[in-house]
Structure 1
């Protein structure tokens, strides 16, 4: 068949079970990752019989991206929605370092220099913050003082100009 003719034709819609449809709708409404929500929306739109071109135009992506999402859905189902692991620099911290961090966190406030001094691992504050976030903790800067400033703000100053 001529490719130009095939462009506007509808492909066979994806048939979803009731549980798959419910799971996809939950992901679209409450999913934490925008990419996963968008992929779920794509599958739902294709299952409703919309064309690849129409879905691509609605989502602002190229039609080939929609075709690829459909192919992945046929191969992996719901497992095709989350991002796959990506390459990058290996973690500087070992599992032993993470366990040590967990012990320190529960005992007292933590700094990067302590990890460097005791474990010989040099990491930045950003790396430490990311590792703590993965472990379920929140990193906040230490506030040295909660006292109000001794210097009055401009809005609190009284007019010093005398009126004659």
Structure 2
């Protein structure tokens, strides 16, 4: 994984991540430039399989001010994810059979300078699971500070 541009912190809080995948993303016009400038929001984004293709829904990529005013792609449009057929079939099976969700975790530049999206099969957490996760994080943080103070 290369330089991370945007993360979906809410996904880690609301879901239990089971399996991750790397996908390319189909972009238009000045969207790559916007992504490099960090004008991306993945907060409420998820993946839907529509007509056998994986689509990233709910992501927001702002257009730069230098973009042509006559051609500005829709900022919240659905974007096609580039995955192998076997991966898409696996995702369809897991979602249909186990009732899982596919969420976008992060958007980053690969080693070859291509924009990639890390997506994950996830299972929704209940309220008590979220509380348990927060308690565990707090305990880990306290343990780390105690170790730092000791040494």
**TM > 0.5 between the two?**
no
Larger strand proportion, structure 1 or 2?
Answer: 2
* Larger-gyration structure (1/2): 1
TM-score normalised by L of structure 2: 0.22
* Larger relative contact order (CA 8 Å, sep ≥ 6): 2
Larger helix proportion, structure 1 or 2?
Answer: 1
TM-score normalised by L of structure 1: 0.21
